[in-house]
Amino acid sequence: MKELKTLVRKNIYSLKPYSSARNEFKGEASIFIDANENPYNTPYNRYPDPLQLQVKEKISKLKGVAVENIFLGVGSDEPIDLLYRIFCEPQTDNVVSLEPTYGMYSVCADINNVEYRKVSLKADYQFSAEDLLSASDENSKIIWLCSPNNPTGNALNPIEVEKVLQNFQGIVVLDEAYIDFSSQPSYLQKLKEYPNMVVLQTFSKAWGSAGVRLGMAFASPDIISIFNKVKYPYNVNILTQRYAIKLLDNFASVEKKVKEILKNREKLIKSLSKVQCITEIYPTDANFVLVKTTDADAIYNYLINKGIVARNRNGITLCDNCIRITVGTAVENKQVISALKSYKK
């Protein structure tokens, strides 16, 4: 890895961040007259903790990662955008990513006017580290790896992931939004081994809280400190922080739901294998299943008419005639299977 200072945009590295009232004072007090807050409507009249320390302490204990290695944002999309703003000089730098993968990597590249280089997955939805590294050059700042990958569902080959981490001189982002559904371990425990790695996780999937919009980024303290410089001062509101604390205190319930989803996934795959209009079911480590169909557009529209919304992935690289099906409840899955079995060309 290159020296962090040389990877970060010069204006960002020298940036003096906004100093909020809650940054300047830490501790307990009985009267707050520092931030021009309304004295009424407690507790929502007060600005939230800009660094969300209570939430991070609970995440730290659960994940075995120090508080200094944790950043919280508005979904995973906030740290994705911040990575561009921190490391990529518009119209100069570039990033490298697999194709197909999560769409926000390319959207944020376009927003930030950064070249986005695509390297196609192989037919089995795996990748070659050599291909990714060959697509990079001196101006390549980030490599994006989503594992388990969206929309394909499979976990990426860890041997190839390690090659990228060991040989790329920029930042390697491992997006683990679906890691709780995978048999493969998280890369969180390798943060010290790879100072150029950023791991993204989320409360949206396994934690069942997509509507709350809370994402996590894990990285070296030096990278996290730059995240905190560039983010908006109060990016995670007090309602979200309080909800997250309650959720983290009830982790056993989350584990139970994940086990239920995995059980439902297994049954769903077994049932999908008996559906005539489905020609292939791809291996999955996520809470969804990608299937190849006889006619994705027609089947998608048929399901819509039945009140069932799936995700049509037809037309995406390596996903011709594919539909992505999220694992639902046992009742929902039965209704989906029943509808698919009734489909006639």
Average the pLDDT over 159-176 and give the result: 98
22 pLDDT higher than 90: no
Residue closest to 82 by CA, chosen among 132, 152, 17, 129: 17
| Secondary structure of residue 214 in the 3-state scheme | coil
Q: Name the CATH code of domain 4-249 (choices 3.40.640.10, 2.10.109.10, 3.40.50.10540, 3.40.50.20).
A: 3.40.640.10
What was the pLDDT predicted at 27? 78
Average the pLDDT over 203-208 and give the result: 98
Average the pLDDT over 74-86 and give the result: 98
Start-end ranges of CATH 3.90.1150.10 in the chain? 254-342
Average the pLDDT over 103-111 and give the result: 98
Burial of 135 (0-12, 13-18, 19+ CB in 10 A): middle
Burial of 52 (0-12, 13-18, 19+ CB in 10 A): buried
As beta bridge partners, residue 174 has 145, 199
Start-end ranges of CATH 3.40.640.10 in the chain? 4-249
Average pLDDT over the chain, rounded to whole? 97
333 pLDDT higher than 90: yes
**Lowest pLDDT segment from 29-33, 75-79, 259-263, 299-303:** 29-33
What was the pLDDT predicted at 143? 98
Give the confidence band of 169 by pLDDT, cuts at 50, 70, 90: very high
What was the pLDDT predicted at 225? 98
| Secondary structure of residue 288 in the 3-state scheme | strand
As beta bridge partners, residue 142 has 95, 171
Contact criterion met (CB below 8 Å) for 198 and 114 = no
What was the pLDDT predicted at 278? 98
What was the pLDDT predicted at 183? 95
Residue pLDDT, tens place only, 5-15:
999 999 999 99
What was the pLDDT predicted at 292? 98
> For the sheet containing 115-120, what is the strand order?
70-73, 215-218, 197-202, 171-175, 140-146, 94-99, 115-120
19 pLDDT higher than 90: no
Give, as one character, the DSSP assignment of residue 285.
S
Q: Tell me whether strands 115-120 and 94-99 are parallel, antiparallel or unpaired.
A: parallel
So what CATH class is 254-342?
alpha beta
239 pLDDT higher than 80: yes
Q: Where are the alpha helices (DSSP H) in the chain?
A: 4-7, 10-13, 21-24, 53-63, 77-87, 104-111, 129-134, 158-167, 221-230, 238-248, 251-272, 296-305, 330-342
What was the pLDDT predicted at 26? 74
345 pLDDT higher than 80: no
Residue pLDDT, tens place only, 257-314:
999 999 999 999 999 999 999 999 999 999 999 999 999 999 999 999 999 999 999 9
What was the pLDDT predicted at 20? 84
* CA atoms of 340 and 70, how far apart (whole Å): 43
Residue pLDDT, tens place only, 189-201:
999 999 999 999 9
Apex CA 230: angle with CA 228 and CA 232, to 5°? 85
Show the 3-state SS of 113-159. Answer: CCEEEEEECCCCCCCCHHHHHHCCCCCEEEEEEECCCCCCCCCCCHH
* CA atoms of 262 and 254, how far apart (whole Å): 12
Percent pLDDT > 70 in the chain is 100
* Token pair 């990033």 in the structure block, residue: 95
